[in-house]
Amino acid sequence: PETSAIKGYRLFRLFGFDVKLNLTWLLLGLLITWTLAAELFPTDYPGLAVSTYWWMGVAGAIGILFSIVFHELSHSLVARHFGLPMGGITLFIFGGVAEMKEEPVNPKVEFLMAVAGPLLGLHIPPLLIVGMVVFSGAFSVLSLPKLIGLGKRSGNDGGRHA
C-alpha cells in the first residue's frame, strides 16, 4: 500500500493518479467561498440575492480546487513521461502536492517537472474566458475587461469597476 506524508480521502482517479483531499483543504475552501461570497461578488455584481453570491463562491472554490488538481497533474504527467514513479495528488491547506516516489534523474527533468504546473496555469484563464463568451449568454465580449480585472477603478465609484 502507498504511504504519503499527507493523508487524504480519495476523491477520484485521473490519468492513473489518485486525487485525495486532506481535511485541511476544507478550511481553505471555506475561506475562498466566504471571501468571494461576502466581499468580491457583492462588490463587483451588486443587486443579486445573497444565496446567489454564496453559490457563486462555492463554484469559485470548486474551480480553484480543480485548477490545483490540473496544476499538480501536469507535474505528475511530466514526471511519468520521464519514467519517474509517482504516487497520487493530495490537496491540502497550502494547495496541493504531486507525490514523487523518487527524485528526478537530472536537472533537466527536474526543471521540466517544475515548470509544467505554471505553464499549464497560463492556459487556464484564456480557455475559461473563451468558454464563457462562447457558451454563455450572460456575458458579452464587451464585459471581458471587467471579468479579467482590466476595468478602470476610480476613487469616487466605491472601488467598483467602471
First to last CA, the chain: 56
Residue 56 neighbours by CB distance under 10 Å: 18
Spatial CA neighbour of 79 closest among 93, 97, 94, 100: 100
Amino acid code (one letter) for 22: N
Q: Which of 72, 99, 102, 110 is catalytic?
A: 72
| Distance between CA atoms of residues 20 and 47, nearest Å | 37
**Side chain identity, residue 88:** G
Rounded Cα–Cα distance for residues 122 and 102 (Å): 27
Active site residue 72: yes
- Residues serving a catalytic function are 72
